């Protein structure tokens, strides 16, 4: 552990972790952030202590480096959905800028996602970085990013260092922040002089086959890691997030080298060339919800079917009915679980009716008619919860989750979870909260994508991915990409 000698260096920290889906009709409000993260100072660090998140790495840094004073400004994150309310972003940015306006600062660290949008801004995170750079032209600024960040080429000239997640599912958030903070410290202390390079040529990639356990992204990450040797400090591969539909959407590669711009550019070019060569491998054959259910019914053992098009961690709305309709039409004669729908009206009606009540409900297709018609169904009310739990799986392990009050409804052999707010079902604790015995659930249907596999792949004999109508459908050709951006070929 380092020990103070002379004046302590001062590190400013702020966080905006949000992924915006331009095709999601639900905007991100202050309440959405407050349910997940709207904290600053010691409160932000206390909530993150021991979790698998970026701010936990800040806690680690503070413990290991008592010669640094760490000041935490506003930290904000919310479940992905539509554009952030502009007034909310302006409030966030003004607070961060004011917090860092006065006093002496030796370095700034930003925990960013990289795919945020507001109703009027294509790249709010870029705007924040620009403002901080203008206010502090002479100090090192570093940022960590999600693997699905959409990067503007100018970003590499505004930051002194940037690192991206290397795993998908994202189970290395804490490690990525630690890597970023160490490079930032070394930069501030004069040990290294990072020079960055980036390639971004408007290449849209489907994230359907972007996991890092195997496939093209695994190979790209391995190549990137192999190039990190002096003078190269870091190489990050970003798959982009096309659903943001912003001016910067697309895959990119960013590399940093110690005082050697040519080395950074060579590493970037080498990885980007391989990315472009393997781009076709990110597309996988897509099957319909009905086909996926039929395949699951023929597969022995425990099987999960995922509906990525309404995945809450891609900006899903918890309202598309296609997968639920296919499950009900199949009429399985064994225990099944469907997770989940977001419908406060159905929840309130069930609460009024009470446990054991039989009632008729309308499920799905209420936010927009674009993704399918509402299902009318007779159900029995089985269980209510407060909708709060602590993640037990590897992704964001230890983080508190609040999806509002929830209810479990039963229609024959199918249990349907309905929540007050859009809820991610990527952690086993979500199902434990609802009294679901996963070991006895022959078929689990979820609105989820690759992050689901972090905790559930070891539990299931097979996971079947389907494509259905929704704001995050896997077939990018079905989306009007280009409304908010100009594509570069």
**What DSSP string describes 250-268?**
S-EEEEEEES-HHHHHHHH
Q: How far is CA 63 from CA 12, 110, 132, 142, 375, in A?
A: 16, 19, 26, 20, 54
Residue 107 burial (10 A CB sphere; 0-12, 13-18, 19+)? buried
pLDDT of 385 higher than 50: yes
SS3 assignment, position 361:
strand
**The residue to which tokens 């591969």 are assigned:** 237
Residue 337 has what pLDDT? 98
pLDDT at 219: 98
The yes-or-no verdict on residue 322 having pLDDT over 50 is: yes
Question: What proportions of the chain, in percent to the nearest 5, are helix, strand and coil?
Answer: 35, 25, 40
The mean of the pLDDT values for the chain is: 95
Q: Determine which of 3-7, 100-104, 449-453, 472-476 has the lowest per-residue pLDDT on average.
A: 3-7
CA–CA gap between residue 308 and residue 317 (Å, rounded): 11
pLDDT of residue 477: 83
Q: What is the pLDDT of residue 83?
A: 97
- The percentage of residues in the chain with a pLDDT greater than 70, rounded to a whole number, is 97
Q: Could you tell me which of 385, 363, 361 has the C-alpha nearest to residue 374? A: 363
Say yes or no to pLDDT of 169 above 50. Answer: yes
How many CA atoms are closer than 13 Å to the CA of 19, on its beta-carbon side? 21
> Stretch 464-472: mean pLDDT, rounded?
95
CA distance 367 to 25: 7
- Mean pLDDT value across residues 243-250: 94
Type and span of the H or E element at 43: helix 41-48
Tell me the per-residue pLDDT of 134-144, one tens digit each, with 9 for 90 and over: 999 999 999 99
Q: What percent of the chain has pLDDT over 90?
A: 93
Residue 408 backbone dihedrals phi, psi, to 5 degrees:
-105, 120
Per-residue pLDDT for 109 more than 90? yes
What is the band of 5 on the pLDDT scale with cuts at 50, 70, 90?
low
Question: Which class for 103: exposed (0-12), middle (13-18), buried (19 or more C-beta within 10 A)?
Answer: exposed
What is the pLDDT, as a whole number, of residue 476? 85
Helix 322-330 to helix 289-298 angle (10° resolution) is: 40
Average pLDDT over residues 225-244: 97
Query: Sign (positive/negative) of CA torsion 211, 217, 219, 225?
Result: negative
Q: Is the predicted pLDDT of residue 483 greater than 50, yes or no?
A: no
pLDDT at 486: 32
Describe the crossing of helices 54-64 and 173-188 by its angle, rounded to 10 degrees. Answer: 40
* b/e 212-235 (16+ beta carbons within 10 angstroms → b): beeebbbebbebbeebeeebbbbb
Residue 487 pLDDT greater than 50, yes or no: no
| Angle formed by the axes of helices 86-99 and 124-135, nearest 10° | 20
Count of CA atoms in the C-beta half-sphere (13 A) of 91: 11
Mean pLDDT of 337-341: 98
Place of tokens 């935490």: 72
Q: What confidence category does residue 480 fall into, taking pLDDT thresholds of 50, 70 and 90?
A: confident
Least confident of 162-171, 197-206, 268-277: 197-206
- Tens digits of residue pLDDT in 438-467: 999 999 999 999 999 999 999 999 999 999
Residue 115 neighbours by CB under 8 Å, 6+ apart: 18, 19, 20, 146, 148, 149, 150, 240, 241, 244, 246
Q: What is the mean pLDDT of residues 227-242?
A: 97
Would you say residue 102 has pLDDT above 90? no
Query: Can you point out the beta strands (E) in 140-288?
Result: 141-145, 161-164, 194-200, 232-238, 252-258
């Amino acid at each position: 552990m380092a020990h103070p000698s002379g004046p302590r260096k001062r590190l400013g920290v702020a966080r905006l972790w949000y992924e915006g889906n331009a095709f999601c009709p639900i905007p991100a409000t202050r309440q959405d952030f407050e349910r997940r993260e709207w904290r600053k100072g010691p409160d932000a660090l206390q909530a993150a202590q021991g979790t698998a998140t970026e701010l936990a790495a800040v806690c680690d840094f503070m413990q290991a480096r008592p010669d640094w004073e760490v000041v935490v400004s506003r930290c904000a994150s919310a479940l992905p959905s539509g554009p952030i309310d502009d007034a909310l972003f302006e409030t966030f940015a003004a607070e961060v800028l004011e917090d860092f306006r006065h006093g002496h600062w030796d370095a700034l660290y930003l925990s960013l996602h990289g795919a945020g949008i507001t109703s009027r801004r294509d790249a709010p995170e870029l705007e924040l970085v620009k403002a901080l750079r203008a206010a502090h032209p002479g100090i090192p600024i570093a940022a960590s990013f999600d693997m699905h960040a959409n990067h503007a080429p100018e970003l590499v000239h505004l930051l002194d260092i940037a690192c991206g997640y290397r795993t998908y599912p994202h189970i290395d958030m804490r490690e990525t922040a630690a890597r970023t903070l160490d490079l930032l410290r070394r930069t501030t202390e004069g040990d290294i002089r990072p020079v960055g390079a980036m390639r971004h040529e408007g290449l849209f990639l489907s994230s359907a086959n972007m996991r890092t356990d195997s496939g093209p992204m695994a190979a790209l990450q391995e190549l990137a890691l192999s190039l990190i040797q002096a003078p190269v400090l870091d190489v990050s591969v970003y798959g982009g997030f096309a659903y943001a539909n912003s001016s910067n959407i697309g895959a990119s590669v960013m590399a940093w080298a110690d005082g050697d711009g040519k080395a950074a550019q060579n590493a970037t070019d080498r990885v980007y060339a391989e990315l472009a060569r393997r781009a076709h491998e990110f597309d996988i054959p897509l099957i319909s919800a009905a086909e996926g259910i039929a395949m699951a019914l023929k597969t022995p053992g425990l099987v999960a079917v995922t509906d990525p098009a309404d995945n809450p961690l891609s900006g899903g709305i918890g309202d598309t009915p296609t997968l639920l309709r296919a499950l009900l039409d199949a009429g399985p004669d064994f225990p099944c679980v469907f997770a989940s729908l977001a419908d406060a009206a159905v929840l309130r009606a069930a609460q009024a009716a009470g446990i054991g009540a039989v009632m008729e409900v309308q499920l799905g297709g209420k936010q927009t008619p674009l993704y399918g018609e509402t299902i009318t169904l007779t159900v029995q009310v089985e269980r209510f919860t407060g909708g709060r739990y602590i993640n037990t799986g590897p992704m964001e392990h230890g983080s508190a989750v609040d999806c509002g009050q929830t209810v479990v409804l039963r229609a024959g052999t199918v249990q349907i979870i309905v929540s007050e707010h859009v809820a991610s079902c990527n952690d086993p604790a979500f199902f434990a909260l609802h009294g679901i015995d996963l070991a006895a659930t022959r078929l689990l249907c979820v609105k989820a994508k690759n992050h689901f596999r972090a905790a559930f792949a070891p539990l299931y004999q097979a996971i079947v991915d389907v494509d259905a109508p929704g704001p995050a459908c896997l077939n990018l050709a079905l989306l009007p990409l280009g409304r908010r951006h100009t594509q570069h070929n």
